[in-house]
Structure 1
Amino acid sequence: MATCQLSTCENATADGIRSHFGGPPADGMRRLVLADPLDGCKPLRNVDDARSAVVIATRGSCTYTNKARNAQEASASALLVVNNEQGLLHPPGPDGMDLEIFSGMIPQPEGRALIEAMSGSSDPTQGALVPMNCNKKSGIGSSNQQCHAAAKADRDIVDGLTLGGFVHLPGGDKFEYLLAGFGVKVPLGELEMGAPLNPSGACAPMPKEAATAAVGKAIVATRGECSFIEKAEAMGAGPGERVGALIVKNSETALFHMGAAPRWRGANISLPIVLVTDVAGHAISTLPPDSTIRFAPSEHVTLAAWDEIERLKEASVWPKETQERQTLYETLVTRNAGFPDRVSAIQGAFSRVCSWGEEGEGIAGQGGGDAERRETGDADTTSVKL
């Protein structure tokens, strides 16, 4: 994965696939430079800039090993090739077994955006190549624990990325979203809403007439009936049938990064895909067709914040005493006043824990009373920091 820090693409990311040749990726933040010539097929003219940097080159005109060899001879630390079509592949290189430089491929949409941003700015661009280790899990599940960076330094880089934000609706309402673990980034301009899907699960390609009408528009699909990756594949079934963004409405007030399993199945997805809560999904799906929405990435919308919200579903998080529970609830609502999705989730968790208390169940969990808490050594309360 390459990350980019630039005024026009700050905290942008691109999933990449390494080549069948070359060494491991360079660690830490590195300068990103465009190859000169851009296809990297001749010895680089910008040798001084390329030294120790990650060189970005376009696909085509010569072999992958030719590009990598030119980058290595310029003392670059890595080569990233921008694909010239949708999807990704492992760049082959039967004649590149002697090469030590890391090389890989990144998708066309992110690669083009990166090249445009770097070409139009004199500011230095930095990025990191972060190897991701992925566990095999169901494609229906989230990617929260599916893929992670192994090294702490790499995890720190990943944790600093902006992978969520707000969906702004007409009238001023805004709701949170988190990006899927596959697909491309959301468009930053206004986006028209498409007609409601029928059926709403987006588990099969749309009829030709509906697909044509949905090109470039935001479409809302409900969670369930098929995996997240199957929804993405159905909505991006072919040229001319690609929607502008796929918004998946969760079945509960919760957010996570949707995953694909096996992970390579998500490499060819060229749609922006986001998850919103049930509250947000209802508001968005009831907008009239041709209404406009706007995505705004935000560093304040994070998986970590929603993991903390998820913990509120555990009874042991809440104080046993009624007044203390009420105080914690009011504190959490006040602290999250600018996040309507989170407030709704907090209200739901508080209502459930109050109903457990009214039914005489132990606040520490169903069937667990004071004796069980003493045996396990658990405290009556657990602090929550949101």
Structure 2
Amino acid sequence: MPRKQTKAVKIGNVTIGGGAPIVIQSMTNTDTRDIEATLRQIEALARAGCEVVRVAVLDQDAAYSIKEITAKSVLPVIADIHFDYRLALIAVEQGIHGLRLNPGNIGARWKVQEVVRAVKEREIPIRIGVNAGSLDKEIREKFQGITAEGMVESALNHIHVLEDEGYDKIKVSLKASDVPLMLKAYRLMSETVDYPLHVGVTEAGTVRSGLVKSAVGIGTLLAEGIGDTIRVSLTGDPVQEIPVALQILRVLGLRESGVDLISCPTCGRTQVNLAELADQVETKLSSLPPLDRPLKVAVMGCAVNGPGEAREADFGIAGGKGMGLLFRKGEIVAHLPENELLPALLKEIEDYVRDHGKDE
């Protein structure tokens, strides 16, 4: 689908914007001063499919931890910094790949100049992150509340500070927990600037509620061609964010690789425990290593839609009364008792992974 053309910036070895594939990000929730715990979580995120990771830098000890973290991290690392420009300078010295900060909240102009001077030497991008919940009082008063127009003006104010210092390696985010507000803000920003946009719904909630908010918000913008990098923000273990992000991209045809499970909603014709079968297959698929080509699996409840859907899948099963069919590339390869359907399908998946797993 057509995408808004934006400038390209590089976070370590990952390109964001400029027509590059949309990048999946997340953020660790470990204490950044605990280097080993942070690295373990980064590795888990990478295994799940994350491509860039952000860490919170709350104090100087956390800032000095950046050196070892970036040296050992399997992903490019962004430092999330607020208020204290000195933390940004330390993070840059320690080898950080990107910064997330707002020039307006780190104080006097000379402090901004110090940060810009440091990032210029290393061409480190800065993400200007505007959140609806923390707009400046002046902006709220001007626009009589929290509005998309106010969020965009806030971002532009920060952008102009960097541009005035001759720096344009910038990414922008305009996050809100209210999806319509977030959508309007990003649309306005996309019309106004050509900097790459980091898209997300902030404080989306738990896996259950946050998944829906993120899918609707992020998915809508991506479908309109807006967005260069995404983060699905969910309460809890950040690793659980990555499958959701991957699924959003895959559903929109923005990722060729990945796994796709299709299963019918069940009806009065269903005579097998399809929900349990689908859950077990989904659990298996969620634990697969990266594959060199997409995998599509169908778990169907009867012979009405089953054969047709399975025809489009790499593998599939269609249940019946006490019996079922196993499909491979649309062809029936076995008639099996109900209790043998799942083991047979899992065996097909394991064989596929053996042949198409990527070398780590």
The two structures have a TM-score, normalised by structure 1, of 0.29
Q: Which has the higher contact order (CA 8 A, sep 6+)?
A: 1
The two structures have a TM-score, normalised by structure 2, of 0.30
| Greater helix proportion | 2
